[in-house]
């Protein structure tokens, strides 16, 4: 559904993403893992057009492959690439329903420009929003103002906003961040559920979740894709082990200096 | 919390229609009440003025003439809130749009605008004023919306000041552009109403407008101020309803989404730049209309009460007191400010003059340490509205940041217009049950 | 372009390149830049460290002009000798600076501190409320003491020593002694602020705090107290500028001085860039030169009195378009 | 020694990053002079632990004690003045201050500033040539040295060091490790580090953090990355 060729992003002297070739198939769930600063969030920002790459291409499959490298975030969203955020990033004083409704409305062509019509005349977006809220388990919270939801519920809402407008590709950035272990089970359930009819690229630190839900696992280390395989194979891969545990004793590793992920904007580590 | 369901036995169709009408009425009950209150105000003012406490009422209630200003400056404040309160972008140069609308009217009337003759119908002129403001807003916005926060405020202020300085020195305006331009009492009043049908139009203006004796045959006389009040009030009401309509449209929801979280609004698929620009243009339109109404009523414009930074500040003050992001709030906010100004005014209806008249000579000359009561009135009361408004303003920023209407909404848990009737209804039912 | 227009542009250029013209414009630019840097530096310090755009800055300058003027009028009599007059001027500066520093510190602690965690909008609004209150209080005082609020306060202007009011010839151009004196004061103040920021411990705290407040706190520095001190000093500087303007016949102590200086201060600080005192100094130069050049153009070639002011605002708009963070601003903090 | 309270003690600390519940009851204690590593995968709360100690992310529950005194809820600058030095993730240079100024700002008032700066430069001779450059112009490794030197010039006896090797080339990492190793002899050190062997090399003891809680503690010398528990919590 989406693929990159030689995707590279440099910030000054830092190469955050370094020549990544990656492809995500239809209805596939691929996890993207890697130590802090490996370039995961930057990679997301490149896919959604939030950042422009220094080199390389991003393509998206509609009927045929379309080059979306130069598209802005709203253009990629309209094509069907949606994302969630690592830190809850919704519309805080709007209700849960309005959060999803306004996101659904974005995909209604010129409807958002109909200044003279009351929102209530566009029931289809509200229906869609209600369905999505039901699907993510927030059906009882439609009228709750987003900022007053519990943290776990907010993480569900975060996914719900990304689901609005019927995307084909979902990029989920640490959906379980800061969620307690019992609430994680529900999120895992949700991720599995949405992966049935979406192509999902999941950034996740919780390895139990990753091993549990992924069809495939890709590992970024210092901006480079060092592994891309099924979960078990990735777990056994010595390069991956070293990336996580450090290559300090093992000399030869890491000729690539300075893969610092400046694009993350502070991870809640 | 949900709408009460109708339980009438009438046939389904009539039931639905009846329910719809009742719902519309209920939804707009507060709107209607406010409109009626405003409509009755001149009559109430006259009636109260004739009571034994007449002179007290005249001190504390704004005169109808002042209420006309509440309407057009209130409209300006609402247009300011439309962009600043709903998208979060502080338009610090908003006076630019008001000023261009006002100058357009006066310059047209004095035959100084190409293509528009002095006899252009006022209703058309209002529209042109709005469109000129739209053009300016698109030009200013196209550049300014690349910035945000304080920088957006500053660049819009910069644009407005360029225009301010220009208009203050542009001798095309008049022989002394610093004093502005005036149409004078000569010539026809500007007519508000249905263009082309004289019977459905009235002239506005305090000195030149229409007046009616013995309206409805009940002995109530409408002077120029009252006639202008209703005519301008009608235009302001239409403008308010249009803005309210837009706020409640899908477009309005996008504006709010931008205010709440611009990054996310973009990520869900909105080209936020175009939405901000359009909202700015709409806001500019109504500011331009407000300026045109002002010029039509006062028939004179000056840089200081149109393009000035402190004129934008009037809107800011009104929005803070009334409530940012409430649309109607700024009108009430300005009503409050204008009332304070009226009470503390140096003019005959102000409280200073009243106190001097009412208090006895001995009270006035009483005092301690060489300071008499009369001195205190002169120094701390007479024309000191800015001092107290400044203090009120600071207190609002510190303790009532959501303003009057915003705080009311928070208390009621929704829009006043939606919630108030419901509250009343539920209380009423509660008592019956 | 028509031939006439080309001709007149050539005329203007020929005229401009006349040595005495250049010297005249440069002298004018220098004295204006000095005033602008005085007016803007306090605002720049506050904005740089705290991100608070203090709308009351101009009002503090206006208060400074009246306070300084009051000190001078009280102390200077017909028999005061010129050197003593000059000495008293510095007394007035010291007294005003101290008074307004205290006022600024008090305002920060009581009014600004409770709203740091709100959006920047509220800081703008709050300081705007202060403008209304301070300006009205000034009007009340002016009325009480029977001073003239609108036109220049002649009594204060009259306390300037004769040698500053006289004219001097520099490189073939005649100028007032006062303007040269203002350049001197401007240079002294810039040097003093510069030394304070770079040579003192507190200055270092201010600079590190404006870059990264959290890291600064983690080094054991009470950033909140730094805020109070900076707001106080910034207010004191505003007052100092007022005392200087009190002697200048182009300004003088008056209530409208408040808005007049506020707008100039904004333009200079925004052009210079958030958090950069160096930027403020350079921007004062740019604005001073623009003003001088446009004033010359207006007097000699273009019949439009608003030219200098209008072009100044156009420069602001142009800078914000080309470099939104200002000349020396730091791009990543531009979101304030 | 046994009678002295620990240099640092966390007791049931719960902290939030915005709304997200990051620390869920962290207990740990570091004796004076001890060097302790805090390891764990991304996102388990290592950085938040350091921020909670400093009061930058004040704990909502639990207590932080420094030398036996409860400092929970104290402002950051007061905690720092108790001798807590922080070498943050991504180094947090004052980019527009010179290297020398970056060091001067960290010296306590009333101390011999130039002497302390000279001593810090003695520890990092490589910085000598760059004292007048703006810190933002330095390379990542040089910035890391400035960040460490910055805590050296203060009267700090407890150092909180966060990911010193992050984003540095292996050769530079060696230098940073050498510097930290020397430093560790004289102070109490709490080190957050992703590079497991390096962390074990520098410390006496370690705490393993997972999901905002300490799940394992042990002797750094005996710890091996082949250990089952460590593999489970650290590797993919």
Please tell me the distance from the alpha carbon of residue C317 to that of residue C322, in angstroms, as a whole number: 9
pLDDT score, position B425: 65
Of C126, C132, C317, the CB nearest to B158: C317
Question: Chain B residue with minimal CA distance to C304?
Answer: B169
- Does residue C8 fall inside a structural domain? no
Which residues have C-beta within 8 Å of that of residue B75, sequence separation ≥ 6? B236, B239, B240, B286, B289, B290, B293, B331
Reported as a single tens digit per residue, the pLDDT across B189-218 is 888 888 777 778 888 888 888 888 766 666
Q: Which stretches in chain C have pLDDT values below 70?
A: 1-7, 147-152, 330-336
pLDDT at res. B288: 98
Q: Nearest to residue C257, comparing CAs of C237, C234, C285, C238?
A: C238
Residue C175: the pLDDT is 83
> Model confidence over B352-408: pLDDT tens digits?
888 888 888 888 888 777 778 888 887 788 888 889 999 999 999 999 989 999 898
Residue B199 lies in a domain: yes
A33 bridge partner residues = A219
| A182 near D CB under 8 A | no
Is A247 within 8 Å of A4 (Cβ atoms)?
A: no
Asked if the Cβ–Cβ distance from A74 to B1 is below 8 Å, we say no
Cβ(C154)–Cβ(C70) under 8 Å?
no
Nearest-by-CA chain D residue for C207: D97
Mutate which of D94, D97, D117 to disrupt the C interface (most C C-beta within 10 Å)?
D94
B415 inside domain: no
CA-based nearest residue to D80, from D150, D180, D1, D24: D150
Distance from CA of A110 to the nearest CA of D (A): 36
Place of tokens 């570091």: D30
pLDDT digit string, tens, across residues C142-168: 887 776 644 557 788 888 887 888 888
Neighbours of D196 (CB within 10 A): 24
Give a yes or no: residue C313 inside a domain: yes
Domain ranges of chain A: 1-80+198-269
Angle at C130 between CA C124 and CA C134, to 5 degrees: 150
DSSP string, D104-172: HTTSPTTS-HHHHHHHHHHH-GGGGGGTTSBGGGS-HHHHHHHHHHHHHTTT-SEEEEE-TTTT--HHH
Which residues in C lie closer than 8 A to residue B147 (C-beta atoms)? Answer: 320, 324
* Structural domain includes residue B129: yes
Min CA distance, C106 vs chain B (Å)? 15
Q: How confident is the model at residue D65 (pLDDT cuts 50, 70, 90)?
A: very high
- Restricting to B residues 280-309, those with a Cβ less than 8 Å away from any Cβ of A are 282
Chain A and chain B touch, per 3+ beta carbon pairs within 8 A = yes
Which candidate in B82, B257, B263, B267 is best for mutational testing of the A interface (most A CBs within 10 A)? B267
Does D105 contact C330 at a Cβ distance shorter than 8 Å?
no
User: Chain B contact for C310, CB < 8 A?
Assistant: yes
Residue ranges and CATH numbers for the domains of chain D are: 1-83+157-236 (3.40.50.300), 92-156 (no CATH)
Which chain C residues have a beta carbon less than 8 Å from that of D75? Answer: 217, 222, 224
Task: Compute the nearest-CA separation of D230 from chain C (Å).
Answer: 32
State the total domains in chain C. 1
pLDDT in tens, chain A (269 residues): 899 999 999 987 778 899 999 999 999 999 998 877 788 889 999 999 999 999 999 999 888 899 999 999 999 999 999 999 988 899 998 999 999 999 999 998 888 898 888 888 889 999 999 999 999 999 999 999 998 888 889 999 999 999 998 999 999 998 988 777 778 888 999 999 999 999 999 998 888 888 889 999 999 988 899 989 998 888 888 888 777 766 554 333 333 333 333 333 333 33
Residue B101's domain comprises 62-318
Contact B250 A77 (CB under 8 A): no
Q: Does residue D84 surpass a pLDDT of 80?
A: yes
Confidence at residue B9, expressed as pLDDT on a 0 to 100 scale: 44
Q: How high is the pLDDT of residue A82?
A: 94
Q: Where are the alpha helices (DSSP H) in chain A?
A: 40-47, 73-79, 96-105, 123-135, 151-163, 181-195, 207-213, 231-236, 238-245
Count other Cβ atoms within 10 Å, centred on residue B27.
16
Sign, CA torsion D150/D152/D153/D155? positive
Q: What is the mean pLDDT of chain B?
A: 86
Portion 141-200 of C in contact with B at CB < 8 A: 143-144
Contact list in A for residue B246 (CB cut-off 8 A) is 115-116
Residues B196 and B215: beta-carbon distance below 8 Å? no
| Residue C207 bridge partners (DSSP) | none
Which CATH entry fits the domain spanning A1-80+198-269: 3.40.50.300, 3.90.550.10, 1.10.150.120, 3.50.50.60?
A: 3.40.50.300
Give how far the C-alpha of residue B339 lies from the chain's centroid of Cα atoms, to the nearest Å: 13
* pLDDT at residue C67 in the model: 94
Per the domain annotation, does B172 fall within a domain?
yes
Contact between D199 and A246 using a beta-carbon 8 Å cutoff: yes
What per-residue confidence (pLDDT) applies to C68? 94
pLDDT above 50 (res B2): no
Selection from B330, B398, B307, B393 nearest residue B92 by Cα:
B307
Q: Which of B293, B330, B302, B328 is nearest to B314 (CA)?
A: B330
CATH code for position C190: 1.10.3470
The partner residue sitting opposite C263, judged by closest CB among B161, B393, B397, is B161
A249 to chain B nearest CA, in Å?
A: 43
A82 contacts B268? CB cut-off 8 A: yes
Contact: B393, C320; criterion CB under 8 Å: no
Overall average pLDDT of the B324-344 stretch: 92
Contacts of A258 in chain D (CB under 8 A): 140, 167-169
C218–D106 CB contact, under 8 Å: no
Q: Which residues of C touch D (CB under 8 A)?
A: 201, 204-205, 207-208, 211-212, 214-224, 330
């Amino acid at each position: 559904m989406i693929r990159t060729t030689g995707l590279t992003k440099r910030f000054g002297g830092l190469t955050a993403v370094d020549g990544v070739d990656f492809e995500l198939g239809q209805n596939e769930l691929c996890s993207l893992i890697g130590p802090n600063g490996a370039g995961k969030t930057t990679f997301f920002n490149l896919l959604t057009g939030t950042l422009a790459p220094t080199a390389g291409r991003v393509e998206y499959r509609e009927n045929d492959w379309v080059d979306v490298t130069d598209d802005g975030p709203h253009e990629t969203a309209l094509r069907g690439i949606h994302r969630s955020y690592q830190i809850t990033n919704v519309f805080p004083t709007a209700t849960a329903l309005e959060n999803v409704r306004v996101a659904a409305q974005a995909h209604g062509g010129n409807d958002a420009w109909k200044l003279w019509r009351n929102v209530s005349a566009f029931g289809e977006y509200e229906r869609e929003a209600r369905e999505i809220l039901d699907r993510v388990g927030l059906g009882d919270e439609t009228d709750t103002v987003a900022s007053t939801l519990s943290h776990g519920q907010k993480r569900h809402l975060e996914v719900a906003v990304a689901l609005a407008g019927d995307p084909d590709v979902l990029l989920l950035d640490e959906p379980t961040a800061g969620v307690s272990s019992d609430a994680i089970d529900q999120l895992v359930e949700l991720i599995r559920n949405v992966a049935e009819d979406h192509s999902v690229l999941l950034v996740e630190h919780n390895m139990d979740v990753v091993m549990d839900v992924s069809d495939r696992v890709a590992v970024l280390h210092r901006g480079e894709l060092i592994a891309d395989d099924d979960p078990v194979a990735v777990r056994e891969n010595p390069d991956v082990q070293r990336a996580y545990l450090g290559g300090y004793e093992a000399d030869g590793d890491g000729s690539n200096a300075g893969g610092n992920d400046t694009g993350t904007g502070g991870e809640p580590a | 919390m949900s709408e009460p369901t109708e339980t009438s036995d009438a046939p389904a169709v009539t039931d639905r229609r009846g329910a719809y009408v009742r719902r519309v009425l209920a939804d707009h009950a507060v709107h209607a009440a406010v409109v009626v209150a405003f409509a009755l105000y001149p009559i109430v003012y006259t009636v109260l003025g004739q009571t034994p406490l007449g002179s007290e009422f005249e001190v504390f209630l704004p005169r109808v003439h002042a209420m006309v200003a509440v309407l057009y400056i209130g409209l300006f404040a609402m247009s300011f809130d439309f962009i600043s309160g709903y998208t979060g972008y502080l338009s610090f140069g908003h006076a630019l749009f008001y000023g261009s609308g006002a100058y357009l009217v006066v310059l047209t009337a004095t035959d100084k605008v190409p293509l528009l003759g002095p006899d252009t119908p006022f209703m058309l002129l209002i529209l042109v004023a709005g469109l000129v403001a739209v053009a300016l807003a698109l030009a200013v916005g196209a550049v300014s919306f690349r910035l945000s926060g304080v920088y957006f405020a500053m660049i819009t202020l910069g644009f407005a000041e360029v225009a301010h300085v220009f208009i203050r020195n542009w001798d095309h305006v008049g022989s002394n552009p610093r004093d502005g331009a005036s149409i004078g009492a000569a010539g026809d009043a500007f007519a508000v109403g249905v263009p082309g049908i004289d019977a459905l139009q009235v002239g506005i203006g305090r000195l030149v407008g229409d007046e009616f004796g013995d309206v409805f045959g009940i002995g109530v006389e409408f002077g120029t101020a009252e006639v202008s009040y209703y005519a301008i009030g009608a235009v302001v009401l239409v403008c308010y309803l249009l803005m309210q309509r837009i706020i409640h449209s899908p477009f309005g929801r996008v504006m709010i989404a931008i205010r709440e979280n611009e990054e996310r609004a973009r990520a869900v698929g909105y080209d936020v730049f175009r939405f901000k620009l359009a909202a700015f243009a709409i806001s500019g339109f109504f500011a331009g209309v407000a300026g045109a109404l002002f010029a039509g009523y006062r028939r004179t414009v000056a840089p200081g009460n149109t393009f000035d930074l402190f004129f934008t500040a009037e809107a800011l003050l009104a929005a803070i007191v009334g409530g940012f992001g409430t649309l109607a709030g700024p009108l009430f906010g300005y009503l409050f400010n204008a009332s304070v100004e009226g009470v503390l005014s140096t003019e005959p209806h102000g409280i200073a003059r009243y106190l001097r008249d009412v208090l006895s000579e001995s009270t006035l000359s009483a005092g301690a340490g060489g300071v008499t009561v009369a001195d205190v009135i002169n120094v701390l009361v007479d024309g000191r509205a800015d001092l107290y408004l400044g203090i009120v303003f600071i207190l609002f920023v510190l303790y009532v940041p959501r303003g009057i209407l915003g705080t009311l909404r928070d208390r009621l848990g929704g829009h006043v217009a939606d919630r108030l009737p419901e509250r009343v209804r539920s209380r009423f039912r509660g008592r019956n049950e | 372009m028509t031939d006439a227009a080309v001709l007149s542009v050539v005329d203007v250029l020929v005229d401009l390149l006349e040595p005495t013209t250049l010297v005249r414009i440069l002298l004018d630019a220098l004295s204006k830049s000095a005033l602008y840097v005085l007016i803007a530096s306090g605002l720049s310090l506050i904005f740089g460290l705290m991100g608070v755009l203090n709308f009351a800055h101009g009002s503090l300058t206006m208060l400074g002009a009246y306070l300084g003027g009051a000190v001078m009028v009280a102390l200077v009599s017909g028999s005061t000798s010129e050197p003593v007059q000059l000495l008293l001027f510095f007394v007035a500066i010291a007294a005003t600076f101290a008074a307004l520093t205290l006022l600024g510190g008090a305002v920060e602690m009581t009014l600004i501190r409770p709203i740091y965690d709100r959006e920047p909008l509220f800081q703008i609004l709050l300081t705007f409320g202060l403008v209304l209150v301070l300006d009205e209080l000034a009007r009340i005082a002016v009325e009480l003491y029977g001073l003239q609020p609108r036109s220049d306060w002649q009594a204060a202007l009259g306390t300037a020593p004769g040698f500053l009011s006289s004219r001097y010839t520099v490189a073939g151009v005649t100028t007032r002694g006062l303007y040269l004196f203002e350049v001197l004061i401007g240079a002294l103040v810039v040097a003093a602020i510069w030394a304070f920021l770079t040579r003192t411990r507190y200055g270092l705290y201010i600079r590190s705090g404006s870059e990264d407040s959290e890291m600064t706190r983690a080094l054991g520095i009470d950033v909140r107290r730094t805020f109070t001190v900076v707001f106080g000093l910034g207010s004191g500087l505003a007052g100092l500028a007022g005392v200087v303007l009190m002697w200048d016949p182009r300004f003088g102590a008056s209530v409208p001085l408040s808005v007049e200086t506020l707008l100039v201060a904004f333009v200079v600080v925004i052009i210079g860039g958030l958090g950069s005192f160096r930027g403020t100094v350079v921007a004062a130069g740019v604005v001073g030169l623009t003003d001088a050049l446009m004033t010359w153009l207006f007097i000699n070639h273009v019949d439009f009195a608003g030219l200098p002011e209008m072009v100044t605002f156009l420069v602001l708009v142009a800078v914000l378009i080309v470099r939104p963070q200002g000349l020396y601003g730091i791009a990543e903090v531009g979101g304030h | 020694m046994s009678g002295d309270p620990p240099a640092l003690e966390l007791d049931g600390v719960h902290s939030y990053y915005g709304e997200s519940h990051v620390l869920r009851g962290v207990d740990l204690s570091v004796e004076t002079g001890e060097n302790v590593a805090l390891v764990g995968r991304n996102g388990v709360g290592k950085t938040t632990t350091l921020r909670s100690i400093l009061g930058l992310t004040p704990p909502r529950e639990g207590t932080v004690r420094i030398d036996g005194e409860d400092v929970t809820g104290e402002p950051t600058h007061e905690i720092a003045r108790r001798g807590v030095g922080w070498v943050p993730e991504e180094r947090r240079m004052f980019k527009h201050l010179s290297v020398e100024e970056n060091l001067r700002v960290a010296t306590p008032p009333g101390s011999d500033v130039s002497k302390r700066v000279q001593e810090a430069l003695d520890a990092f001779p490589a910085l000598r040539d760059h004292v007048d450059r703006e810190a933002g112009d330095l390379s990542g490794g040089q910035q890391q040295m400035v960040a460490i030197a910055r805590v050296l010039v203060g009267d700090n006896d407890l150092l909180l060091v966060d990911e010193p090797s992050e984003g540095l080339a292996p050769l530079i990492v060696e230098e940073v490790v050498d510097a930290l190793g020397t430093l560790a002899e004289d102070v109490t050190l709490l080190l957050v580090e992703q590079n497991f062997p390096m962390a074990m090399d520098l410390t006496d003891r370690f705490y393993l953090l997972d999901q905002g809680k300490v799940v394992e503690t042990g002797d750094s010398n005996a710890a091996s990355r082949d250990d089952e528990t460590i593999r489970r919590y650290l590797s993919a």
